[in-house]
C-alpha cells in the first residue's frame, strides 16, 4: 500500500493506493514553505501502519544522478536530496517525481493513453510542461529534464516577440503557450489585458480579435510540438491543464500538429486528459508502486 502526494505551493493533496493503482483521496493540508521539519510533519500526518512507501508528485525537477531537486515555489525543499532526507525523517522508502511526468504516467496507465506504448503527456496550464512515458516507464533523461518541451529558444520570432522566460532564456514556448502566454499574446496583438478564460470564450463566440490571438497561439505551438513528436514517436498525446478544459482549442492545435508531422494520420493525436481523479496522485502512486515492487 502506497501513500501518495500531489504537492503544490499552496496545498499538499494526499491519497492511498493499493496494487491496482486506484487512488482513494485522503484530504489536503497547507504546504509549509520555509520549514523542512514542518513539511515532513505534514506528510507524516497522513501515514499509517499500512504505509509501505511514500510517492510524491511535485512541480520540481529531480536530478537522477544526485537526487537533488530544483523547486522554485517551496524554498525549504530546493536543493535537497529530497527522497533520501524524507526517507530518513519518515522511516519509509520515498520516491519523488516531477508533476508533469506523473501526469503522463497516469494518463498512460489509466487514462487517455491506455493501450499505447509511447505516450507524450502535455500540460497547458499556467505555463507549458510535458512528460514522456515508454512501456510504462517515465523517461527522465540527463538532469531529469526529458519531456520539458516548453523551454529552449524555439518560438517563432517572426510571429511574436521573444518574451523573457523564468528559466533564464528568452523565446521559450512556456512564455506563449499556457494561459499566461495566451494573455501575453492578446496584449501584444491588441494592447489590452484580458484573462485567458475571457479570450477563449470570446473566440468561441466568434470574436475576430480573440480569433487572431488563438490563431497566433496555435501557430507558435504546432511546429515545435510536431518536431517533438517526430523525435519521440508518441502515438497519443493526452493534454492536461486549464487550457485543456476547452476541447475546441485542443482540436484546433491537434489539426495543426498533425499537418506538420512526418507520419500522416487521420486519427486525433492530441486529446483531452481522461482521468477524473487527480493525475498527480495517480501518477505518483503508479510510479511508487513500481519502485516498491523493484525494492
For residues 19 and 40, what is the distance between their CA atoms, to the nearest angstrom?
A: 25
Which residues, in sequence order, are bridge partners of residue 137? Answer: 134
Contact 274, 107 (CB under 8 A): yes
| Count of CB atoms situated within 10 Å of the CB of 164 | 12
Which residues, in sequence order, are bridge partners of residue 57? Answer: 6, 97
3-state secondary structure of 290: helix
Is there a domain that residue 104 lies in? Answer: no
Same domain, 178 and 239: yes
Residue 85 clears pLDDT 60, i.e. is over it: yes
Which residues, in sequence order, are bridge partners of residue 5? Answer: 14, 56
Residue 277 burial (10 A CB sphere; 0-12, 13-18, 19+):
middle
Q: Nearest Cα to 93, choosing from 47, 127, 29?
A: 47
Distances from the Cα of 84 to the Cαs of 66, 91, 94, 185, 264, in angstroms?
10, 10, 7, 42, 46
3-state secondary structure of 56: strand
Residue 143 clears pLDDT 90, i.e. is over it: no
Same domain, 54 and 146: no
Q: What is the pLDDT of residue 292?
A: 74
Is there a domain that residue 106 lies in? Answer: no
Same domain, 238 and 137: yes
Share of the chain above pLDDT 90, in %: 89
Is there a domain that residue 128 lies in? Answer: yes
Q: What is the pLDDT of residue 295?
A: 56
Is there a domain that residue 63 lies in? Answer: yes
Give me the half-sphere count of Cα atoms (radius 13 Å) on the Cβ side of residue 174. 19
Residue 277 clears pLDDT 80, i.e. is over it: no
Same domain, 244 and 122: yes
- Domain around 14: 2-99+277-293
**Dihedral of the alpha carbons of 182, 188, 193, 198, in degrees to the nearest 10:** -40
Which residues, in sequence order, are bridge partners of residue 53? Answer: 2
The helix-helix angle for 208-232 and 196-204 (nearest 10°) equals 100
Same domain, 161 and 220: yes
Same domain, 225 and 249: yes
Same domain, 76 and 184: no
Same domain, 129 and 63: no
Same domain, 55 and 152: no
Tens of pLDDT, residue by residue over 94-134, are 999 999 999 999 999 999 999 999 999 999 999 999 999 99
Rounded average pLDDT over 143-164: 92
Same domain, 289 and 180: no
Is there a domain that residue 117 lies in? Answer: yes
- What domain count does the chain have? 2
Is there a domain that residue 248 lies in? Answer: yes
Tens of pLDDT, residue by residue over 183-231, are 999 999 999 999 999 999 999 999 999 999 999 999 999 999 999 999 9
Is there a domain that residue 160 lies in? Answer: yes
Looking at residue 49, which CATH number applies to its domain? 3.30.420.40
Predicted structure pTM score: 0.93
Same domain, 66 and 147: no
Residue 121 burial (10 A CB sphere; 0-12, 13-18, 19+):
buried
Mean pLDDT of the chain: 94
Q: What is the pLDDT of residue 44?
A: 96
Same domain, 125 and 252: yes
User: What DSSP state is assigned to residue 178?
Assistant: S
Is there a domain that residue 105 lies in? Answer: no
Contact 31, 11 (CB under 8 A): yes
Q: What is the pLDDT of residue 29?
A: 97
Residue 1 CB partners (closer than 8 Å, separation 6+): 16, 17, 18, 50, 51, 52
Amino acid at each position: 500500500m502506497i501513500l501518495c502526494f500531489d504537492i503544490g505551493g499552496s496545498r499538499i493533496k494526499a491519497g492511498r493506493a493499493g496494487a491496482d493503482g486506484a487512488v482513494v483521496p485522503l484530504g489536503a493540508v497547507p504546504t509549509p514553505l520555509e520549514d523542512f521539519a514542518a513539511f515532513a510533519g505534514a506528510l507524516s500526518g497522513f501515514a499509517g501502519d499500512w504505509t509501505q512507501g511514500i510517492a510524491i508528485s511535485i512541480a520540481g525537477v529531480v536530478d537522477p544522478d544526485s537526487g537533488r531537486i530544483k523547486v522554485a515555489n517551496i524554498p525549504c525543499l530546493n536543493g535537497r536530496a529530497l527522497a533520501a532526507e524524507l526517507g530518513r525523517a519518515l522511516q519509509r522508502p520515498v520516491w519523488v517525481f516531477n508533476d508533469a511526468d506523473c501526469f503522463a504516467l497516469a494518463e498512460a496507465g489509466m487514462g487517455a493513453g491506455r493501450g499505447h506504448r509511447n505516450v507524450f503527456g502535455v500540460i497547458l496550464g499556467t505555463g507549458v510542461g510535458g512528460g514522456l512515458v515508454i512501456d510504462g516507464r517515465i523517461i527522465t533523461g540527463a538532469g531529469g529534464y526529458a519531456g520539458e518541451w516548453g523551454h529552449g529558444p524555439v518560438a517563432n520570432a517572426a510571429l511574436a516577440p521573444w518574451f523573457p522566460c523564468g528559466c533564464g532564456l528568452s523565446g521559450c514556448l512556456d512564455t506563449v503557450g499556457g494561459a499566461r502566454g495566451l494573455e501575453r499574446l492578446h496584449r501584444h496583438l491588441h494592447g489590452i489585458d484580458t484573462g485567458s478564460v475571457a479570450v477563449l470564450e470570446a473566440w468561441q463566440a466568434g470574436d475576430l480579435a480573440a480569433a487572431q490571438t488563438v490563431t497566433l497561439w496555435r501557430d507558435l505551438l504546432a511546429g515545435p510540438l510536431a518536431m517533438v513528436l517526430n523525435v519521440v514517436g508518441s502515438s497519443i498525446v493526452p493534454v492536461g491543464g486549464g487550457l485543456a478544459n476547452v476541447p475546441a482549442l485542443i482540436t484546433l492545435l491537434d489539426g495543426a500538429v498533425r499537418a506538420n508531422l512526418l507520419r500522416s494520420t487521420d486519427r486525433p493525436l492530441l486529446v483531452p486528459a481522461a482521468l477524473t481523479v487527480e493525475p498527480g496522485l495517480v501518477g505518483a502512486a503508479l510510479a511508487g508502486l513500481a519502485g516498491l515492487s523493484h525494492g
